[in-house]
Chains A and B, each alone.
Chain A
């Protein structure tokens, strides 16, 4: 079956530090890949997506590149802010339909 593995948290960074959250996947066919963010007490917000190999998704300074050869979709940001503190989920859809398979989530805490 499909699965997503992302790095364990929590990740604690100082403001303006570089962020990488690793995500790898196993899927049949050609999945679409997503990063979602969840702020405390809220639902999930789509951060970025990529639907085919070598696509780069980007939004709000965050980027992730769909790497088919390494089955990865790592999230990066060059300079994090305190407001980026949240839980980040890597996810995929595959085989048609909208069923999202999520990773376990990585909590990010950014300190001044």
Chain B
């Protein structure tokens, strides 16, 4: 079974631009979560989607948004990019949304904002 895939793997953008990142979960998984990883702040939760509904949202500004499609694939969008948005963005998928099941992470998208 294929793992979680994220595209693109690397991205360079300029301040003020917007970016869309994509995540394809493991087949059959209905929950997708997004995390931002930076050296200073560590791993921070962005949002979680389950069956196309956002179930939980972290403490990020409204510039960060996401969605989930009927096939469970998810996208996150960051508008008006700032230098501080440079980070590794990780997506995780899980079979269910109970919090007790394993979550499998993708390799991440490395975003650099210049």
Contacts and interface: CB of A to CB of B under 8 A. Distances in A.
Contact of B45 (A32, A89, A101, A105): A101
B27 to A, nearest CB: 18
B55 A97 contact: yes
Contacts of B92: 44, 98, 100
A94 B99 contact: yes
A43 B102 CA distance: 15
Contact of B99 (A36, A44, A93, A104): A93
Interface stretch (B11-19, B67-75, B76-84, B103-111): B103-111
User: Which 5 A-B pairs rank lowest in CB-CB distance, beginning with the nearest?
Assistant: A93-B99, A43-B105, A102-B43, A44-B105, A43-B107
B48 A46 contact: no
A48 to B, nearest CB: 10
Nearest to B57: A99
Nearest to A50: B100
Interface of A: 32, 36, 42-46, 49, 51, 89, 93-105
A21 to B, nearest CB: 15
Interface string B11-45: 00000000000000000000101010000001101
Nearest to A103: B42
A98 B97 contact: yes
B99 A45 contact: no
A98 B48 contact: yes
Contact of B90 (A44, A97, A105): A44
Contacts of A51: 100
Given A43-B90, A44-B90, A100-B33, A32 B100 contact: yes
Given A98-B48, A99-B56, 19 more contacts: A36-B105, A44-B105, A46-B103, A46-B104, A49-B102, A93-B100, A95-B99, A96-B98, A96-B99, A97-B48, A97-B50, A98-B33, A98-B94, A98-B97, A98-B99, A100-B45, A102-B42, A104-B42, A105-B43
